[in-house]
Every structure is written in structure tokens, then in C-alpha cells.
Structure 1
């Protein structure tokens, strides 16, 4: 079965039974592989392949990020879709999924520790009480399928907020919000955003290279092997925090448009 084949691939990348893991994903290459093998592919099969590895004692977190709220579009915790791909939308619709409350950076939690994410309604998308902070408290993991850090690893911004970096600032967004019970009201939430007026651009290629060089990642780079890599949220937090404290964030985590030559 396709689920068994894919599950074996995720195990070879380092995913384990009982893990609590946040998964970022680009499924295009995996779908092409399955089709070449003659399998009919659907998002639920992909989702089940990860849940099978994690088992009854594991927990899967999926990003349901949707940025419409920042432009004034109402958010509905029950119905607003994920903009992070077919796998995440399958996770949102999973009958056992628990959705967290931030209207921009919400998550679906499925599995053993999912109830610990119920009623999580953090004000700041990357704050200490966000799913990023909770994952770190749980000593969880982060997995990325066929995406570079630049296009996936939002956990960097949690680390930046926890370290109060000076190239980002707190910004609020207000809009119509409908909760799980169907109650609608005006709410305000925050994000720790780039200082665009200073030309700050997120730049994570150097950080990704350092993560590999220092053996914080295990598994496979994008477009190699099964394409899945995994890291410890706690180890990554400490490693990137050290980069920030040493004054090396610029050129490693961000650059200044029109000033820095790094591409």
C-alpha cells in the first residue's frame, strides 16, 4: 500500500513513533513519485502515512496559515481554509483535528497531545504561548518536506521574538472573528513583523546551511531522497538564539535590501 511505502520513507528520514512534530510540506514530488509507482494519490493518504509513523502516542501539528485577516477578510475558526497546501487542508478537515485560535498563524493538532492545543488563542503569532512555544515546551520536533527553510521554517520568527531582535517589531491586526461556537466579534491579534521601511528581508539560506553543518538536521535535503528533514525544536531554538546573541543575525537570518550583497 502507498501509505506503508511512504511511512517507511519518513522513518528512514528519522521520524519516530511517539514523536510530537510540526510538519511543513510541499507534496508535489511525493505525489509524482506515487503516480509513477501506479498509485492513486489523495491528501488523506499522505496525511495517514505520517500519522501511521507517529502511532497512537504521537502528535502531528500542521500549519493552517492564512493571511487574509491582515487585509480585512473575516476569520472563521470553523471554516477558514489553510493556504499552506493540500496536506494541511486535509489535516484541518480531519475528524480528530484540534485547531488553534490565531487568525493568521493557526495550526491543526492531531493525535495523543492534540487536546493540549484546544483553546490555545495566543495574541502574538510567534509568542511564548503560541503553538511554537508549546511545541518547544513539549521538546517536540519540526519536519520539512521538500521545502527550503526560506519557504517553511516559521519557527525562526518565534526564536526572533523570544530574543527581542531589533529588526522586527510588534504590529496588530483587527477584524471580524468567528469562534468555534459561532460567535462573531471584533478581535485584535499581533505579529512580530519585519521592519519593511528599513529594507529588512528574511534571508535563511545561511542559517539552513549552518543547521546542516552542525548536524541539527537529520534526513534529506529538498529534492534528495524522500525530501524530509527533521530537527529538535529545543536544539534549534538554542542554536539560532546563540547566532542572535553573537551579533550574527544579519546575513544569517535577514539582510537589508539595497545594502547587503548576499543573494
Structure 2
């Protein structure tokens, strides 16, 4: 039996709702959440409690959005989460399952995976960079997701910008803030890479290769976030025990573009 330390503070749905209100989450918000369940502390009911609290605060007129990316559906040479022996690479490519919008799990954490399977949650159909949404504008946000530059134009990230949505970094830093990829996609000197993944086309399994935004690897995103928060463009506080930050998507994008134009 695992013993919970006596000094541990238990988090409940009601305590999380109170913390969400305190940081500035409101009814009617279109809210993208990047999260870490472990950072919140001991949550009674686990990830479903967090999802329930978020949905209750934004209400039926709001939309909850979370990344549901599947990087392990890409070519194994691009995997960051696991390193496999070179002798496995061809067998992996031959047998790698094609992304299924309904069943392929995300690797974005326990809260995001719980949200993916939540009643009425819908998901964009991108093989490696999908986004899930639940609420009033869910269909509008996830219905279009371009294969190339999967965080740029013609994607849910552009739609969040257009809708004046907000982002909540719940226990994670700006290194996890995908909207910064969208901001970078708007500048001429953006960093790029090629993404390669299997997909079905006319009923046939093929390998698709498309241009995509390059990985930041905590090179610039944390610095942008630090400057953005220092300029008082965000609200910060604790949700449970998780250091969290709430801010506007358009405000971050407008702030980040000059930085990328100067420093990339």
C-alpha cells in the first residue's frame, strides 16, 4: 500500500474549480490547456476530476481544447520519447500502425489522454499533431487541420488565434506551448523540418512526407514566455500545487513574432 504523506494537500474538484476561477478562467472561454497531472499534487479521482473541473468552469458556451499529438505515429528516427535499436527501424516502418482519429492514444499526458476519450470530445484528423476539443466551438476549431506545417495556417492553432482563445499552462512551462509554433510559422525565417508518417490514401497505406515547423527543444520558447510574463501579459498562480499561467493566444502571438524575427 502506497502511503500518502500527511503533509500532502488533497485536491478535489471543488478546490480545483476555486483555483481556476482565481487565475482567471471564466465561463464562455475557448481554452487550450497544456497540463501535468503530477504537478497538481494528489487529485481525488485523478485526471477525470481535472477535466470535469475545467469543463464546469468554462460552461456550455465555452470550448475546452487540448493537444492530442501522436509523435510515435511518425518515422521512428524522429522519436524523442523512445530510442530503438537501428536494426528495428525497417520492421517498425513496415508494421507501424496508421493513426486512427478514434483510437490512437496521445502521449501528451494523463489529462490530455483522459480528455481525448471524454463524451462529446472530437479530434482533428492529423496523423501526428491532432487536437481535441469539447464544447460550443469544438467543430469549428478541429474541422480543418492541414497536413503540412501542422501548427500553422489552416490548423486548429490558427483558429484559436482567430477566436481570441486563451491558453492555460497547468503545471508546465512555455516549452510546451504549441501556440508559439504558430507564432513562429508567421515569420519568414521560421525553422522547418520534414515530417514523415504513414497514412491511408484511397484505401492504400502510404508514407507521406511534408514540411513542418522545426522543434524548439527549449531553445527560444522559454525565453519568449519569460519576457511575455515579465511584461505583465499573463496571469499566474497555483492550481492545486501546480504553477500555472493563463494568457491570450493573440497577445502571445503578437508578442512572439518580433522576437522570432530578431533572434532566429
Determine which of 231, 236, 252 is the counterpart of 2:252. 236
- What are the equivalent positions in structure 2 for 1:213-228 lying under 5 Å apart? 213-220=230-237, 226-228=242-244
Determine which of 41, 61, 83 is the counterpart of 2:107. 83
Contact 1:176 1:185 in 2 (8 A): yes
Q: Does 2:199 correspond to 1:176?
A: yes
Tell me what 1:254 maps to. none
Cα–Cα, structure 1 residues 177 and 42, in superposed 2: closer, same or farther, change >3 Å? farther
2: CA distance, partners of 1:159 / 1:141: 14
1:173-201 CA-partner distances (Å, limit 9, x unpaired):
2413499xxx6643635421259xxxx87
Structure 1: 5+ residue runs without aligned partners? 35-39, 251-263
Secondary structure of the residue that 1:227 maps to in structure 2? strand
* Worse overlay, 223-232 or 40-49: 223-232
Secondary structure of the residue that 2:256 maps to in structure 1? helix
Number of corresponding residues: 232
1:103-153 CA-partner distances (Å, limit 9, x unpaired):
111111001111213532312211211111010000001110111212x11
Cα–Cα, structure 1 residues 29 and 186, in superposed 2: closer, same or farther, change >3 Å? same
Cα–Cα, structure 1 residues 187 and 216, in superposed 2: closer, same or farther, change >3 Å? farther
Structure 2: 5+ residue runs without aligned partners? 1-10, 76-92
Contact 2:145 2:156 in 1 (8 A): no
Tell me what 2:54 maps to. 50
- What are the equivalent positions in structure 2 for 1:14-33 lying under 5 Å apart? 14-32=24-42
2: CA distance, partners of 1:136 / 1:68: 27
What CA RMSD, in Å, does the superposition of the two structures yield over aligned residues? Answer: 2.5
Q: Does 2:116 correspond to 1:92?
A: yes
2: CA distance, partners of 1:211 / 1:224: 23
Q: Does 2:141 correspond to 1:141?
A: no
Offset at residue 217 of structure 1 (A): 1.4
1: CA distance, partners of 2:153 / 2:229: 26
